[in-house]
Amino acid sequence: MLQIDMSKNTSKEQDAKTEPSKQAKHTEGCLICGEELVYTDSSLLQTCIYCAKEKSSAIHCPAGHFVCDECHRADAITMIETITENSTETNPIQLAREIMSTPAFSMHGPEHHVLVPVVLLRTLSNLGVSIDPVQIRNAIMRAKQLPGGICGSWGACGAAIGAGIGLSVTRRLTSLSKEGWGETNSDTGEILTRLGAHGGPRCCKRSTYSVLLTAIELLERDGIVKYPEEAHQVPDCKDFWRNKQCITDKCPYYPSFTKKTSS
């Protein structure tokens, strides 16, 4: 397995590496320096700048900085738990947007994998579906196992799998379940199919909107819940300006595109 060569770091970059807690957190690109991250088709063994654990990842910073998935999403998961704990919101899109607007959330990252199942479960609970706190904790635990960048390296978006986790938890499935097992796997496949239709490159905001809108439709179709009408509305993305790979009007959530379709 390859090891990242740190010898090319500038003194400024090495300062950021040795004292990350004193650096401002970037919400796009590398969390330490803001440089555009490099995505490869093979994993590199890297040492996390925060926890010092060695992790294998296909994503790296040209300057040598590395933040593992656990540290990357730590603040965001705390924010997810804090906001959803007492939320009375019944629209998953609105709840997700509230959470994604906090400084803890980066433009892209594995925190979105956790966000999706939690907002689905919380809004289901708020609409009267029997969801207990243990189920939400289980969803978080499962979604935290999904690494960043798997939309490319695994061929399956983590947000879409997160929606599948939400459906599985809602239906209280196990590997031996007869009822609901087939439906949930089919539903997750449909979520991935609709997301894939948008094409690449990846955008965690686009993925979040797409998988939530599809999950809303599927939960209603299966007779589990009836969401408020506004939950079906196509949202205008607030974060397109932060995404260097934004596909602009090819994205169904790009503001100019949504305005055209509604006019």
Least confident of 35-39, 181-185, 195-199: 35-39
pLDDT at 206 over 60: yes
- Tens of pLDDT, residue by residue over 69-94, are 888 777 899 989 989 998 999 999 99
Q: Could you tell me the pLDDT band of residue 27, with boundaries at 50, 70 and 90?
A: confident
> Which pLDDT belongs to residue 6?
39
Q: What is the 3-state secondary structure (H, E, C) of the chain?
A: CEECCCCCCCHHHHHHHHCHHHCCCCCCCCCCCCCCCEEEEEEEEEECCCCCCEEEEEEECCCCCCCCHHHHCHHHHHHHHHHHHCCCCCCHHHHHHHHHCCCCCCCCCCHHHHHHHHHHHHHHHHCCCCCCHHHHHHHHHHHCCCCCCHHHHCCCCHHHHHHHHHHHHHCCCCCCCCCCHHHHHHHHHHHHHHHHCCCCCCCHHHHHHHHHHHHHHHHHHCCCCCCCHHHHCCCCCCCHHHCCCCCHHHCCCCHHHHHHHHC
The reported pTM is 0.78
> Which pLDDT belongs to residue 70?
80
